[in-house]
Every structure is written in structure tokens, then in C-alpha cells.
Amino acid sequence: MKRSMKLRTKILLLFSLFALLILGLLWIFQVALFGQLFEGVRVMEGRAVIRRIEAALESQGTEALSESIQDAAFEKAACVSVYEIVNTVATRVADIHANENCRIHDIANMSELLHRLYIAAESDGGIAVERVAVSSFGSPPTDNRPSDTAFCARLLSLENGKDYLILANVEVYPSVATVAALREQLIWISAVIAVIAVAMAFLISGSLARPIAKLNQGAAQLAKGNYGADFSAPGYRETEELGNTLTLAAEELSRTEALRRELIANVSHDLRTPLTMIGGYAEIMRDIPGEVTAENLQIIVNETHRLSSLVNDLLDVSRLLSGTEVMQPTRFDLGTLAGEAGAHFRDLLSKNGYTIHVDAPEGVWVRGDRKRLQQVLYNLIGNAVNYTGEDKQVSIRLTAGDGIARFSVTDTGAGIPAEDLPKIWERYYKVDKVHKRAAVGTGLGLSIVKSVLDAHNAKFGVSSDLGEGSCFWFELPLA
């Protein structure tokens, strides 16, 4: 079988992948896209400078323009020239040199560039931006002088009828020092992210794996039969819930195990009694002359019958509880069946002082497995007889109405505590473990009743008052 990856390894892998993704994005932005981002920002700054110059021009004209726009230019490291245009001739009226790699001030073919920008701005709402390769200026790029530069231009017509062209030149490349600093920073950030990712992966996987490993240990203990295994796994709601569920399962298993042992003890006792009788009587007849009497033989026959009916009951129990038994429904009179069952118990028990009241009119037809429902009646009546009070009264009642047949059997016994009511239908469950053993006495009677009635989709239940007695009932549709 292919073994799955360990939780720790998987989380480590996922975190590494996540860290790699973040680092990849960082490198893409810093290395591949940084130039474009930087250029965009620089062009925006150049245009911001132009807007301030524009405002100065509008408010004060060219008078002392250079002084009033100096701050703006130096702040953004932009070289600025302002030209007045008269009859397509441009005359420089203000000038600031604030970009150390400036091109405005050493450009050979300035008039040609000016002309291009003028035309572009004129056709594009007064604004033009042009990125120019430095090599086109005649001086080749060096390490310290980047290869491209950008010009922002603004064509402006003032109310006094004068036309101006404002030109700002900004560097679109970060300086070599800036780039180096960023690289260095990026390497450090990458290292820190990698370390943090690995540390986080170890921490998280550790804290996740710990409760799971603990639950696993507990489950292994449980598998070995240690029902008291510790399933506390604090830290996460899911693991806590799983722990609680496993604790419940362990309790359930230990209870079933205890009940199973009890059942085996009961059954072996029930089997041994007739066997001892048979063995004893057979030996007497063999060893003592004249003991081979019809009475002694009858005892052996009776005990053999008891044995075989006990074995049959046990077989029934196992078949019904394993769910392999298929119901064989027929239409029959539940009234007759209840009357017969009542008569059977009355015949058996009246000499012991029991009073069995039967109120079961004939002609209550239902559909179901007659043999299994008879077993249900016998189990319910048998329980009522076994658990009824000192007055030894048991009432059997059958009613029919609204398309429903309702059978109930009431005793006057001690009743069943409310907290035990839901459990009595479970296998092997006994409220009072030291109570005199029931006819079957295995704690299986009611679970057989439940299996049979469930198979008939019948409603059933019990109402019980402590000290007053209990009433077991079930309902079947009339047929």
C-alpha cells in the first residue's frame, strides 16, 4: 500500500511553496517590473512639477519665474525650461537645472526635440511625454549616465494671448546605488522569509501533529483492549471532538464487553443446569438397579427439551440481531394471538399466585410475521411477569381504532428509572444486575422486541413511573 506523506512533511512542503511564490512575486516586481514602475512614478513627478509651474505662470507671468519654481524642481530632481512661443519661434524665458543627469542643458538638437514635443502636445490636449534614448543625443550611455531619459511637455495659452511650452526632464532610471541597495534588501528579505516559512511550518505541523499522534496512540491502546485509554487532545476543536467521540466509543465498547461477559456467564449457567441434571439421572440409572423408571426418563426428556429450546432462543437472538432474519408477513388476528399468549401465561403462573388480566377482543387483523410477533408478546408479557410487584398483577390490553391496533402490557412493579428508559432496548442491558433472572434472563429480550418491531416499521415504547409499574406498548396498522 502506498504510504501517505507525513503531516509535517506536507505542511513543510506547502509552506516552502508558499514562500517561494511570495519570493517569486517579490523578485518579479523588484527586478522585472521595477524599471517600469519607477519610470511611471518619475513621469508623474515630472508632470506634477509642470503643473506647479503652470500655476506660477498663470498667477505671476514670467516675472521671477525661475526663483518661484526652484523648490518644486529640486524636490523632484527635474530640470525645467520654460519657452515663450511667438510665431513658432521658441525663446527660453526661465530655466532651472535640478537633475544632475540633465539632458535639456546639453542637448545638441534641442530645436528638433522641441518641435516634436510641440506638435505632439498640440494634438494631444496640450500634454506630451517622450522617452528618449540617450544615445540619440550623441553621447553614449556610461555606468553613471543611464541610457534613457524622459521629457514631459505642456503647451499653455494664457489669457493675455501668450503661448508657452513648459519642459521638464526627469531621470527614468534609479541610480546604481539605489538599485544595489534594493538588491541587497531583497536578498535579506528572501532569507528572512525562507527562515520564517520553515519555522512556521515546523511550529504549525508540530502543533497539528501532536494531538493527532496522541489520538493515534490512544486508538492503538484501545485496539489492544485498554478501554481506559486517554483520548484528550486539546488544541483544536476538531481533535477535541474526535477525542470525545473516541472516549464515548471506548466506553461503549467496554460496556458491551462487560455485558458480553455477563451474557456468556448467564448462558453457560443456563446450559449447565439441564446438562448436570441429564448427566446425574443417566448415571443413577446406570449404577443403581431399579432406577430406570419412567419418571427418571421423563426428567431427562424434559431437560433435553429445555436445552434445545434454550439453544433455539440463542440462535434466534443471534440471527435477529445480526439482521440476517427476513420477516415473513401474513395477515393474522392479533386478538387471538394476544388471547393465546395471555392464556399460556395464566395456565403457567396462576398456581404461583399471578393474576393475568387479558382484555383482547378477537378480530383485530394486522399484517406481520406471526411467529416473530408472538415472540414479542411473550417477551413483553414475560418481562411484566418477572418485574411486576408483590401483588403479582399483569394486564394485557389490545385496542383497535383509527386504523391502528395497539397492544400494551402493564405491570405493577418498581418501574424503570428515566435515565435507563432509552437504554433498556439495547443488547445485554439490565437495569438491575442482581434482579432475579428473567425467563430468558440474558438481557436480550427487549433488543429482540426492538429488532422485530423495527422490521415491521411499528411504533413502540414504554412509559414507566418509579414504584408504580411500567407499560410496554406497540402499534401496528390494521389490515
Residues that bind ligand ADP (CB under 6 A): 383-384, 387, 411, 413, 416, 424, 429-432, 438, 440-447, 470
Helices and strands (H and E) in the chain: how many = 10, 12
214 Cα distance to chain centroid: 20
Which grid cell is 391? 401483588
Cell 518619475 sits on residue: 42
Least separation in angstroms between residue 370's CB and ligand ADP is 21
CB atoms within 10 A of CB 87: 5
Between 148 and 426, whose beta carbon lies closer to ligand ADP?
426
Strand order in the sheet with 355-359: 355-359, 393-401, 404-411, 469-477, 459-465
Which grid cell is 205? 505541523
Which grid cell is 402? 383509527
Least separation in angstroms between residue 375's CB and ligand ADP is 12
Beta bridge partners of 85: 90, 163
Least separation in angstroms between residue 268's CB and ligand ADP is 16
The identity of residue 207, as a single letter, is S
Between 215 and 414, whose beta carbon lies closer to ligand ADP?
414
Least separation in angstroms between residue 441's CB and ligand ADP is 5
Of 419, 413, 402, 391, whose CA–CA distance to 472 is shortest?
413
Least separation in angstroms between residue 263's CB and ligand ADP is 10
408 Cα distance to chain centroid: 45
Least separation in angstroms between residue 323's CB and ligand ADP is 18
Between 46 and 445, whose beta carbon lies closer to ligand ADP?
445
Between 368 and 445, whose beta carbon lies closer to ligand ADP?
445
Between 114 and 444, whose beta carbon lies closer to ligand ADP?
444
Backbone angles phi, psi at 397, to 5 degrees: -135, 140
Q: Give the CB-nearest residue to ligand ADP.
A: 445
End-to-end CA distance of the chain: 56
Least separation in angstroms between residue 420's CB and ligand ADP is 7
Backbone conformation region of residue 457, classed left if phi is above 0, alpha if psi is from -120 to 50, else beta: left
How many residues make up the chain in this entry?
Answer: 479
Between 286 and 435, whose beta carbon lies closer to ligand ADP?
435
Least separation in angstroms between residue 249's CB and ligand ADP is 23
Backbone angles phi, psi at 467, to 5 degrees: 85, -10
Backbone angles phi, psi at 416, to 5 degrees: -125, 130
DSSP character for 31?
I
Between 385 and 405, whose beta carbon lies closer to ligand ADP?
385
Which grid cell is 465? 413511573
Between 247 and 447, whose beta carbon lies closer to ligand ADP?
447
Between 197 and 449, whose beta carbon lies closer to ligand ADP?
449
Q: Is 73 helix (H, G, I), strand (E, B) or coil?
A: helix
Backbone angles phi, psi at 143, to 5 degrees: -55, -40
Least separation in angstroms between residue 266's CB and ligand ADP is 9
